[in-house]
Structure formats: structure tokens, C-alpha cells
Structure 1
Amino acid sequence: MAECESGEKPKVQVKHDWYQTDVAVVITVLIKNVKEDNLCINFAKNCVTAKIKFPDQDDIDLKFNVSHDIVPEQCSYKLTPSKIEVKLKKSEGIRWAKLEGHEDLPKAIPVEVPQSSGPPSYPTSKKGKDWSVVEKKIKEEEAKEKPEGEEALNKLFQEIYGKGSDEVKRAMNKSYMESGGTVLSTNWDEISKEKVDVKPPDGMEFKKW
């Protein structure tokens, strides 16, 4: 593939969505494959900035001048292969009508608990968009993301336990507890006969503290 004559790095188009709960505002930046070392997010009382670095593309600088004050020390973010989820702690329990731009209110509006059983449709700066649907899609994306390593192993054990019979569950509980977490068996006929010994990995020694 021929390179651009100008030598400029390609620019990445970044989209974002947002929704809110009674105590927090969540901004979802839809961008894939961002490394933790290449991401820097800073929280201020009324502003959030994010700098994303790419080895073969232009760096991305994002800034959100939020419409109400937040509590910087209680804000956080979560990085996944498909997005960056930024959680902002509201300083006041009021409903935001928009994400950015100062919003003059005559007085603080207390948040009312919705009467319906379903989640509320959160307002945003874009009209006609149901953010409860957006939140549902985000959760569906997270469910599709395949866990790796220890997380994948724990999920597998949870599925086996959840779908297993009473004997399978008793076997898993007994083997795990008696072995100090070094053995996990689903065979009740074998496990029920005697106490399960501790079996540390090869080259390691089990010590009681």
C-alpha cells in the first residue's frame, strides 16, 4: 500500500455516548485497542481531559467541559478492548439535562426515583435518543468480550458450578476447602470417601499462615 506523500499520520474519528444514574455520569468513548500505557485521563471539578497515544496515528486529545461540578477524587475509568468507560461522581444529586456546557438552574433539582420497573430513559444533548437502549448495547458488548487468563478460568468454574448437580457442587466445595484452594474436583464419588490433601503446583511448597 502506497504511503501518503505528505507523510502525515492518519487521524482517528472518535465517537462518544453518555448516560447518567442518580449519583454518577458515565461517558463511553468508542475506540478500540487502546493500551493502558498510552492513555492518560485527568479529572477536575468541572472538566475531564483524556490523551490517547498511537504509534502509527495522530494522538487524540479529548476534553469534556461538564455542565455540573464533579468530585475528581471519586471519579474513575475502565479500559476494555472496544472502549473507554469514564465514570464521573456527581457533586450534587441532580439530573443533568446535558453533558457539556454550563447549565444555569434556579435551584438544585432533587432526583426523583422512577416509578416504573424498568431503567429510566436518560436525557442528553441529542434529542430523541433513548440512553437506556445505549446502556443495554454497551452491556451486550461487554458480554461478548472474551475473558482471558485467570478471569476466563474463574468464569469456567462458575459456569460448571452453576449448571452442576448437587453432587457436583458438594464435590467442588469439599475439594476446594479441604485442599486449601489447590484442588477442585467435580467427582463426588471420589471426593466423599476421604479428606482431600493439599496439592501445590510442582516446585512449590504449601505453608499455613
Structure 2
Amino acid sequence: MTNIRHEFYETEDKVIISVFDKGADPEQVSVKFEPRKLSYKNGEKELVLEPLRSQIDPEASSYTVGKVKVEIRVAKIAQGRWGQLTGDTPDPLASYATPASAPAAARKPQKNWEGITTAILGSEPETSLDQDPNAGGDTAVNSFFQKLYGDADEDTKRAMMKSYVESGGTTLSTNWDEVGKGKVDGKPPQGSEWKKWGA
């Protein structure tokens, strides 16, 4: 049995694994998806990832055999970052807080807006005016928004981040009671038409 080189990247709702198996025959490749396990097999070459960091949806997962690599798309049951593919940790789904009245099928994982806010702010380096002439913009306006965000309580910060992200940058709200109820729709400037990216 030969272990195969692989790497991955992830989004909130899926993990994309690249298995470097050059010239793999689609007829010979077998990928098996289980709730906490992924098995790849091609003749003597094999890759088993177990236990996965969190539960996956085998029905929504898929793979494509290319000339240089096999791309495996794993659908996460619960949204969020794993950080690594495997780990013998308690299943995050087991501790998901759901209302007692909600039937199992109706449970919907909630996004951790505070975590997303922290991750985004922590991962983006400050851009200087030398790197981007638009970075400074109107300094007074920038300072105002930085002060507003910096002095805000946690609900206000979550509301600002959620409204900005979900509306595609067209809405900025500080009211978590309103924003927390559902998705924030985009509001294009007057005379413009709202279109999804790539549509």
C-alpha cells in the first residue's frame, strides 16, 4: 500500500482535497465518503483520512479525476473552518445548541459572526497608501468608521460585519436585533442593478 501526497483548502461549507495521482484511470479510482471518514483507492495507492475533523455529507460530496490530480470535494454538515483534515476531537455537531422544539431535519447551523469578524480582521494586513492609493480614502471617514467599530459592543460589531458581508458591501447596519433575524439583502445605489457575482 502506498500513501499518496495530498493537500487541501477549505471554505465555510466545503473542503477541497487534491490527491496527486498523475495519470489516474477514472475506471480504477474509488472514493468512498462516510460521515467521519474518506477513503481513496487506485490500485496499490491508497489514502484514508479518519477521523475527519467534523461530519461530512456523503451525498453532497463528489470527486473529479484529472490528468495530474484527483480533486475531491467534501461537503461539511456544519459550516466553519476545520484548520486540519483529521483530528480525534469531539464531533462539533454533537454539541450544537438547537431549540428543543426543532425537529432534527430542521436544524440549521448558525454562523459564528464574532469568530468570522475576528478571523477577517486578524488575517488582513494593513494596506499602506504606497501599496494602494485608495487605502487612505477620506481619512476622516476612515477614522470615523474605525472608531465606530472599535468602540462598539459585540452585538454591534456582529451586526456591522454580517450586514456588510451578506449585502455585498452595500449595507452597513449596527442593529443586531434587526440583522440577526435573517439574511441582509443587497441594496445597490439608485439607478444601479443588483447582480450576483458571476451571474
TM-score class, shorter-chain normalisation, is: 0.3 to 0.5
TM (norm. structure 2) is 0.45
Work out which of the two has the higher radius of gyration on C-alpha atoms and give 1 or 2.
Answer: 1
| TM score, norm. by length of structure 1 | 0.43
